[in-house]
Amino acid sequence: MTSWVGSRSTTTSSQVDAVARAIRTTPIIDNHAHPLLKFDSLGKHPLLSITTEASGEAIHAATTSLPHLRAVRQLATTLQCGFTWELVVAAIEQKRIESFEDWTAQCLSGIETILVDDGLDSGEDAEKYSWFDDYARSKCKRIVRIEKVAADIINRLGKDCDASTQTDNDVFEEVYDEWIKEFDASIIEAIHNPEVVAFKSVICYRTGLDVLAKPDEEAARRAFQEIIANFALLDFERLQEVSLNDLVVHRTATLIQDSTLRHKKPIQFHTGLGDNDITLSKSSPSHLQEFIRAYPKVPIVLLHASYPFTREAGYLASVYENVYADIGEVFPAVSQDGQERVLRQILELCPWSKILWSSDGHWFPETYLLANMQMREVFQTVLCDYVRKGHIGWRAAIDLTRDVLFRNSNKLYRLGLEFSELEEESDIEVGPYLTDAELFQNYLKNQDEPDFVRICWHDFTAQSRMRMVPFRKFMSLLQDGKSTDIGIAKAALGMIQNDRLLPTVTATGEYRLHPDFSSLRKGPVEGHVSMYAEFREKSGARVSLCPRSLLQRAVEFGAEHNLTFLLGFEIEFLLVERLNNGNTSRYGTIPTDGHAWSVSRYFADPRVSKLLRDMVSALDEMGIYTEQLHAESANGQFELILPPYPPVQAVDTLLHTRDVLSALATAAGFKITLHPKPFAHAPGTACHTHMSISSEDGNRPAQYESFYAGILKHLRAITAFTHSNPASFERLADSVWAGGRWVTWGTQNRETALRKVEDSHWELKCMDGLANPYFAMAAVLFAGINGVINKEKLVWRDCEIDPAKLTDNDRMELGITDMLPLSVEEALNVLRKDEELVGYLGADLVERYIQLKEFELGFLGEMSGEERRQWIMERY
């Protein structure tokens, strides 16, 4: 199974750098924006509006929003002022005084051209769309807002009608026909006007996107007559009657579709978030589906990422040839995490050839600056991450960037512009994106050069394995821009602890072991540094059998549903001594005086005391800060508590910490074992896991109770991962603080499988050190997230005492009806039948896991109980 390091190049640091550079230097065609205020009118609108759709008194709360705080940081950095809103405002005012033109040019840096909807209610306060020509690299174009065209004609006709004609039906019919005639003429003129590249509808604001499949002409006539008849009293400003708004949109689409021009100009629709004029429930683009079908030759652009209905926009753009998805306005109106989710969600199924970008910039040049800056930052984070993970090739990522930011709009609006990159020295600042080489070099600052770099993984039987690369070789690969991936036999994910292969697995084929540089840690022994890795195909794609990738996938699934998590592990371990007295037992307990839970006397043994101190000190040097350390109940048994981290980092840290503890114990003449029940008459050893929902609303009972209800619903199947060895079930017992054998929960109850600590902070007690924690936590997260999605009810009531000591009737009243499996065989069978959980984990992974565990059981079954105990203690 020997293979060469870096023998096949997949994703290199230089390729990721090329993607980042393309994101920085691709010019932007801003496919939807609005005019800026004239200098003398800047004070008429609140500068706070640059990151929020709120208005009136509601706008003041924006100062406590994540988008506002991020904008303050970015503007302060650009303006080189203090990091408060007041100082930012003062600095902007100073820029305006010094040279408003220069400041505007800086804010609009990086823009090729702007397509301007000049239909906002701005009057004489705003500049003309052509004003932007002095700031963009190419001439700017106009977007015609159709509702404004219709309303302007009504206003003029209504004023021309005197009181007597307003009640004359014949005259009314003439006025209505004149309105239709003039509206059609205006649209036709715009269709043929080369300065106009598109039309815009704000029907979403007026009556909603649930446009009738066909316009109701009679209802429109009646509504028009009502307006004209009462015009003197109405103070009419805009269309906001369903039949008239529907008619205007349909007539525009019909005129575009029937035009003789080969190129049909698009209609842009405001969708998703807006100010409080909007009815949010009617702003989903899904309401437009019938309208889209009715005009298959009319290009339709769904503006503003349709937020929060981004997936709906992506779906429509993917299944209708004439639909395009714009991902503007969320920059800068949504938090950074939200923006990243928008980009990830739109790319879930929407071809990037159908995606456009816009700033929705308006009134203030700072809106353009922030939109541009934040978009490039988010593109860099998401796309470079996709490249590193093998979701997309680096060349494809560059094409995606150039298509979304430039080429797609250039083609759709027939702009005829030539693509040429921006200069690298742009005024636009983007957030830091560190390449693998930079991460490694930063890590080495103030540290001695290591001798070896470890690339680590955790296999199906929870064995920690690794490959070591001499530091000199590893650095030469990084410096030459070559891959640091390691070729690894596919059999690595098909063997048990003694390297026996599953009968269905062969020694042919190779994966790539792809290190994650963000997991870089010193140790576990002097002269070594370690990273955890994911298995990849040679193409760079994820391997469905990879344990670490599975947990990463669970985390990403949670993020898609606005859920993030923290995990914190308790490492229980037993210090034993190696016996060399010819006894059949190779390991014996350390003789201590009155060892018990949390007693202080264990520090009296200087060897143990020094070892425990060295453990904490070594972890501190690695940036792993122990939260607690105390004695457990068995002789030589201790518990070290790790801090909470995001899930993948938490598991990486858990495994690295175990390696550190084991190495130090071995150097001190001891051995650490994680065997769940190494000595029949002593307390067992577990790996309790603390969990919390760290996302917004995570402490809301409606959310976290559904999460833990989902876990309890699938807990019997999850046990196949958390109790993965026959030795695990030797520990599983009632009334011994081990979590018990019942599927239930209780507040601060250590005899339940799930202990509620506080709000969304709960503890999973039914896991031990023989579990692969990537698998176990992925199963737990998928089950919990599914519970949130389905709004599962916590049908189990709070169990306040040991459930084993309840009567059957008492348990029934609390909803406690199921027991955890009593063997690995039973747990695997339950997992096999849990179709919902298998669907999340992947049928191929579950099948391989079950096959491998059954193969392992067959091997372990050939041993006596004592042989099996010794064999497991040697390896765990």
How far apart CA 357 and CA 369 sit, in angstroms, is 14
Q: What pLDDT band is residue 357 in, cutting at 50, 70 and 90? A: very high
How far apart CA 460 and CA 853 sit, in angstroms, is 8
Q: What pLDDT band is residue 430 in, cutting at 50, 70 and 90? A: very low
Structure confidence at residue 37 (pLDDT):
86
Better-predicted residue by pLDDT, 198 or 53: 198
Whether 439 shows a pLDDT value over 80: the answer reads no
Residue with tokens 């002097």: 526
Distant-in-sequence, close-in-space partners of 110: CB < 8 Å, separation ≥ 6 = 27, 28, 372, 376, 422, 426, 427, 428
Structure confidence at residue 598 (pLDDT):
63
> What average pLDDT does this structure show over 346-363?
92
SS3 511: strand
* Average pLDDT of the chain, as a whole number: 86
Cα–Cα separations (whole angstroms), residue 785 to 339, 546, 792? 21, 21, 10
Distant-in-sequence, close-in-space partners of 37: CB < 8 Å, separation ≥ 6 = 44, 45, 122, 125, 126, 127, 363, 364
- Which tens digits make up the pLDDT trace of 261-307? 889 999 999 999 888 778 888 999 999 999 999 999 999 999 999 99
Better-predicted residue by pLDDT, 562 or 216: 216
- Cβ atoms of 773 and 786 within 8 Å: the answer is no
> What average pLDDT does this structure show over 607-633?
85
Concatenated DSSP letters for 75-90? Answer: HHHHHT--SSHHHHHH
Better-predicted residue by pLDDT, 732 or 369: 369
Whether 484 shows a pLDDT value over 90: the answer reads no
Q: What pLDDT band is residue 875 in, cutting at 50, 70 and 90? A: confident
How far apart CA 165 and CA 630 sit, in angstroms, is 93
How far apart CA 618 and CA 794 sit, in angstroms, is 42
How far apart CA 637 and CA 332 sit, in angstroms, is 53
Structure confidence at residue 699 (pLDDT):
84
> What average pLDDT does this structure show over 700-719?
93
Structure confidence at residue 358 (pLDDT):
94
| Backbone phi, psi, residue 32, to 5° | -165, 115
> What average pLDDT does this structure show over 776-796?
93
- Closest alpha carbon to 425 in 111, 113, 104, 109: 109
Structure confidence at residue 769 (pLDDT):
87
> What average pLDDT does this structure show over 116-138?
83
Report the amino acid identity of residue 171. Answer: V
Structure confidence at residue 425 (pLDDT):
46
SS3 457: strand
> What average pLDDT does this structure show over 817-843?
92
> What average pLDDT does this structure show over 708-732?
90
Concatenated DSSP letters for 44-56? Answer: GS-GGGGG-S--G
How far apart CA 727 and CA 675 sit, in angstroms, is 7
Q: What pLDDT band is residue 121 in, cutting at 50, 70 and 90? A: low
How far apart CA 679 and CA 595 sit, in angstroms, is 15
How far apart CA 785 and CA 558 sit, in angstroms, is 6
Domains of the chain: 13-46+69-412 (3.20.20.140), 436-543 (3.10.20.70), 551-875 (3.30.590.10)
- Closest alpha carbon to 724 in 825, 628, 573: 825
Angle between helices 547-560 and 773-789 (to 10 degrees): 20
List the beta bridge partners of residue 184: none
Neighbours of 362 (CB within 10 A): 21
- Burial class (CB within 10 angstroms; exposed 0-12, middle 13-18, buried 19+) of 105: middle
- Which tens digits make up the pLDDT trace of 312-342? 999 999 999 999 999 998 998 999 999 999 9
Whether 150 shows a pLDDT value over 50: the answer reads yes
Residue with tokens 């530091």: 471
> What average pLDDT does this structure show over 659-682?
85
Report the amino acid identity of residue 275. Answer: D
The gap between the terminal CA atoms of the chain, to the nearest Å, is 23
- Which tens digits make up the pLDDT trace of 857-871? 898 888 888 888 888
Neighbours of 136 (CB within 10 A): 18
> What average pLDDT does this structure show over 809-837?
91
List the beta bridge partners of residue 566: 692
Q: What pLDDT band is residue 7 in, cutting at 50, 70 and 90? A: very low
How far apart CA 833 and CA 818 sit, in angstroms, is 16
Q: What pLDDT band is residue 584 in, cutting at 50, 70 and 90? A: low
Structure confidence at residue 585 (pLDDT):
65
Residue with tokens 């640059």: 50
- Closest alpha carbon to 872 in 496, 577, 615, 501: 496
Residue with tokens 């922030």: 370
Report the amino acid identity of residue 718. Answer: I
Whether 612 shows a pLDDT value over 80: the answer reads yes
Q: What percent of the chain has pLDDT over 70?
A: 93
Q: Which stretch of 76-90, 155-169, 611-625, 765-779 has the lowest confidence by average pLDDT?
A: 155-169
Q: Which stretch of 5-14, 18-27, 413-422, 847-856 has the lowest confidence by average pLDDT?
A: 5-14
Structure confidence at residue 3 (pLDDT):
34
